[in-house]
A and B are shown apart, each in its own frame.
Chain A
Amino acid sequence: MRTFVAIAVLAMAASSTVFAQPKPAQLVPAQSELSFTSKQMGVPVDGKFKRFDAQLAFDPKQPEAGQVAFSIDLASVTLGAPEVEAELAKAIWFDSKKTPQASFASTAIKATGPGKYEVAGKLTIKGQTREIVVPITLAQAGSATTATGGFVLKRLEFKIGDGEWADTSMVANDVQVKFKLSFTGLSPL
């Protein structure tokens, strides 16, 4: 027991002083949203992912040291109609049986203004990895920190809507992704 405590104390000291890692924040899923808008023959169609998770270790005063990882349960997509959701699970769309998760891992975070940051990282969907840069705005109210942002995803880079659906005059290549993520436990801005 004594040894364990000693190791724990050492580990905490090491993590806080040597690596200066910020303590992890907790995602509040009920207050968070991940949505997207795709265009089908010019018609904007909104969808959502119901299940996702984020690991955030971020000190707003030291953004460069921060890290964020994000995972999305692709089978949790909703797009208005159940028959469309059944289609989206198929191999030419999300292939969510074979690759159930999409993930994002940050490689660099920098501040661009008060409460504004740019998060660069790797987005992986269906085994395809691309570098993306996502602008994020943080706002704090009480103990909650809300991160909002969005980016344009090129669906064909990830083979989302392959084969007969690859025609971008039917479904546009650009998909607008938007998110609002609520965290607790983040240091004050």
Chain B
Amino acid sequence: MPRITPTASPPSRYGTVAIAFHWLLALAIIVAFSVGFYMSELPFSPDRLKLYNYHKWAGVTILALSALRLLWRLAHRPPADLPMPAWQAKAAHLTHGLLYALFFAVPLAGWAYSSAAGFPIVWFGVLPLPDFVPQDKALAETLKELHGWLAYGLAALVLVHIAGALKHHLIDKDGLLLRMMPSRP
């Protein structure tokens, strides 16, 4: 919850760094989700191997950027809620909280799945990442399911998030969406 300091009022917009994190990660997550959805149906081929590795590299990058983003978010106040019914403000905060949780849960489950399946992740083909679960076929199957369902959950929340933002922009016309847009000079 935002800390109330008597001297400073909350900003009216998100900061440049927060905006950059938001759109960069939005793009990365949409690409990683789409690649993940497509690659799992591919037959055994060099293309499949490539896409699996790109997907894993993207996932670890999303995880790392999300950690930086969370730290930034904790250190910088977001703009105050615009006037809206309390339940809507609550729903918005809950959605944001769950989105943040899944920014971590989805890649971590994918990483664990990869380790359990016996394919350790080597980030961008250069940096070997540790395995934090043992190699285990049954565990790999469970983690594969978990990774998939968490990813679908994240996709559903993204849709809720977009629907909420569009509702504010198109129906309430309260300028909420503009707070996350890069400012024009």
The stretch that binds A, out of B60-68, B115-123, B148-156, is: B115-123
Q: Check if A87 sits within 8 Å of B44, measured CB to CB.
A: yes
Is B84 interfacial (CB-CB < 8 Å)? no
Q: Check if A45 sits within 8 Å of B119, measured CB to CB.
A: yes
Q: Report B-chain residues with C-beta under 8 Å of the C-beta of A45.
A: 118-119
Q: Report B-chain residues with C-beta under 8 Å of the C-beta of A83.
A: 44
How distant is the Cα of A80 from the Cα of B139 in the complex, in angstroms?
A: 13
Q: Check if B46 sits within 8 Å of A167, measured CB to CB.
A: yes
* Count, chain B residues at interface, CB 8 A: 17
Q: Check if A41 sits within 8 Å of B118, measured CB to CB.
A: no
Q: Choose from A43, A44, A170 the contact partner of B46 (Cβ within 8 Å).
A: A170
Q: Report B-chain residues with C-beta under 8 Å of the C-beta of A87.
A: 44
Q: Check if B117 sits within 8 Å of A164, measured CB to CB.
A: no
Is B49 interfacial (CB-CB < 8 Å)? yes
Across the A-B interface, how many residue pairs have beta carbons closer than 8 Å? 39
Q: Report A-chain residues with C-beta under 8 Å of the C-beta of B9.
A: none
Q: Check if A43 sits within 8 Å of B44, measured CB to CB.
A: no
Do most interface residues of chain A lie in helix, strand or loop, or is the interface mixed?
Answer: mixed
Q: Report B-chain residues with C-beta under 8 Å of the C-beta of A14.
A: none
Which residues of B102-142 have CB atoms within 8 Å of chain A's CB atoms?
117-122, 125-126, 128, 135, 137
Is B5 interfacial (CB-CB < 8 Å)? no
Q: Check if A43 sits within 8 Å of B117, measured CB to CB.
A: no
Residues of B whose CB lies within 8 Å of any CB of A are: 44-46, 49-50, 53, 117-122, 125-126, 128, 135, 137
* 7 closest A-B pairs by CB: A42-B125, A80-B118, A42-B122, A41-B53, A87-B44, A43-B122, A170-B46
Residues of A whose CB lies within 8 Å of any CB of B are: 40-46, 80-81, 83-84, 87, 164-165, 167, 170
**Mind listing 18 A-B residue pairs with CB under 8 Å?**
A40-B119, A41-B49, A41-B125, A42-B125, A42-B126, A43-B53, A43-B121, A43-B122, A43-B125, A44-B120, A45-B118, A46-B118, A80-B117, A80-B135, A164-B46, A167-B46, A170-B46, A170-B49
